[in-house]
Amino acid sequence: MDKRKLSLVAISASLLTGQSLAAGFQLNSQSATGIGRAFSGDAVIADNASVLSRNPAAMAMFDRKALSLGLTYADVDVTIKDVNYNTLGGPLNLGSENDAADNKVIPNIYYIHPINDSFAVGVGAFSNFGTGTDISSLNNSGASVTPVDLLGETEIITSNFNASVSYRINQQFSIGAGLDLIYGEGKLKRQGEIFGGSDVQSTMVDVEADGWAVGGILGATYEINDKNRLGMSYRISPTFKADGNVKFGFPSLNTYDEIHIPLPNIFQIAGYHELSPSWAVHYTAQHTSWGDFEHITVTGSNPDATVKSYQWKNSWLFSVGGTYTINQNWTARAGYMHDKGVVDEISSLSIPDSDRNWYTAGASYHLNKNSSIDFGLAFVRGEDVEVRETSAIVGEVIGHTRSDAVYYSMQYSHLF
């Protein structure tokens, strides 16, 4: 199945995702309510069915069937400036790319079905990972020698189909578990004229592949009382294997069977505290094992090879937020998140990263006691980062990257 058909399948399933604006290539866009409060407390608030994406145990707090449908539009601004490398005559500037990532529409859907006072089940479709940049235009700088091995198109798209079950042990304690069936597509291209003006196109990486992988999630909630509760979850992510067109190597371009992309595990704890009938505060601490994302490798009939080494470090994010009930029709929320970058000693032009700050706000309009329309707005601000990456062609390449975004999100939630 070609790339265009695969994308149409993903869109029809409402699961197409793209450039991430969290650490590494992790996505934080699973719900409008979550965006509005910077995902603080999202593993335990359980104000709609989207809690399924963060903690299956929280389904135990539902005594009625619940449905949530959402869309997020990510207005992404990724800039890569002043890319250069040293020559005998001094630095040679390859230029800048001010629009390295496309804007994206990111949908989601969740359904929770209580079976009895003890058990509930749920299904969801969302994404936890995705990235996409294109800096192949820098190959057309007119330089006598171009680091083609670093400048090109990079895209990783994942779609997560989740089925979960929760069990209420007693009035305070609940547990849950879920199975993640993950569909992903990967695209890596490094192609251009190594020697400017030669009219010889050299291809060093040409990967366009897709595949399926299986992961899972475990969770627990502790309800101290009806106004205070805590939640935690641990998501187990696989090493993703994709097959299709997989070619890598220089000067000889070899064909392989699979590309392997390791995905990190995600652990989070969250709390919710109702201070009054109108006010509540909530918070989240989340650890992502990006240290597992060491290498992208290819395997097959030729000897195994490393396409790219990253060797990132594990990362934390911390968020805090508040919810204010204005009246029976309107609820307002706001939040702040600090998301730590993952780059360690090896940095990359193709996946820009830095510490990021999220400033968010949102609201819910309650159509009636069973239905609401939720809105979320997030301003994501990264940092200016100097990137030093080694090219096998020209040696050290230096550039400056920055990733910002604005998220606009809407969601419909209903209790049956």
What are 280-310's pLDDT values in tens digits?
999 999 999 988 888 888 898 888 888 877 7
pLDDT (mean) for 177-182:
95
Report the alpha-carbon distance of residue 332 to residue 394 in Å, rounded.
Answer: 54
Which domain does 53 fall in, by range? 3-415
Rounded average pLDDT over 189-206: 83
Residue (of 136, 101, 82, 86) closest to 18 by Cα position: 101
In single-letter form, the type of residue at position 98 comes to: N
- Asked if the model's pLDDT at residue 232 lies above 90, the reply is yes
Q: What is d(CA 392, CA 250) in angstroms, rounded to the nearest whole number?
A: 10
- Tell me what percent of the residues of the chain surpass a pLDDT of 90: 48
Residue 79 in contact with residue 98, Cβ under 8 Å? yes
Average pLDDT over residues 399-408: 91
pLDDT at residue 1, rounded to an integer? 37
Instruction: Give the integer Cα–Cα distance in Å for 21 and 215.
Output: 22
How many structural domains comprise the chain? 1
Q: ∠ CA 78-79-83 to the nearest 5 degrees?
A: 140
Residue 400: CATH number of its domain: 2.40.160.60
Judge contact between 222 and 169, C-beta under 8 A.
no
pLDDT at position 17: 38
Residue 3: per-residue pLDDT: 39
Contacts of 235 (CB under 8 A, 6+ apart): 128, 180, 215, 216, 217, 265, 266, 267
Contact predicate 233/218, CB 8 Å: yes
Given a cut of 50, whether residue 103 has pLDDT beyond it is: yes
Q: Are 245 and 2 in contact, with CB atoms under 8 Å apart?
A: no
List all residues 6 or more positions away from 60 whose beta carbon is below 8 Å from its beta carbon: 120, 166, 167, 168, 174, 176, 221
Average pLDDT for 103-119: 93
Separation CA 280–CA 285 (nearest Å): 18
Q: Rounded CA gap, 85 and 388, in Å?
A: 10
Q: Quick one: pLDDT at residue 23?
A: 53
Residue with the larger pLDDT of the pair 210 and 10: 210
Is pLDDT at 354 greater than 70 in this prediction? yes
| pLDDT given at position 39 | 95
Say yes or no to pLDDT of 125 above 50. Answer: yes
- pLDDT confidence band for 222 (50 / 70 / 90): very high
185-189: average pLDDT: 85
CB atoms within 10 A of CB 213: 18
Count the Cβ atoms, other than its own, within 10 Å of residue 75: 12
Helix (H, G, I), strand (E, B) or coil at 292: helix
How many CA atoms, within 13 angstroms, populate the side-chain half-sphere of residue 86? 6
pLDDT at 188: 85
Residues of the chain with pLDDT > 70, as a percent, come to 94
Token readout for 137 is 């235009």
The DSSP annotation for 46-74 comes to: -SSGGGGGT-GGGGGG-SS-EEEEEEEEE
Taking the C-alpha atoms of residue 268 and residue 287, their distance in angstroms, rounded to an integer, is 6
pLDDT at 264 over 60: yes
Q: What was the pLDDT predicted at 137?
A: 83
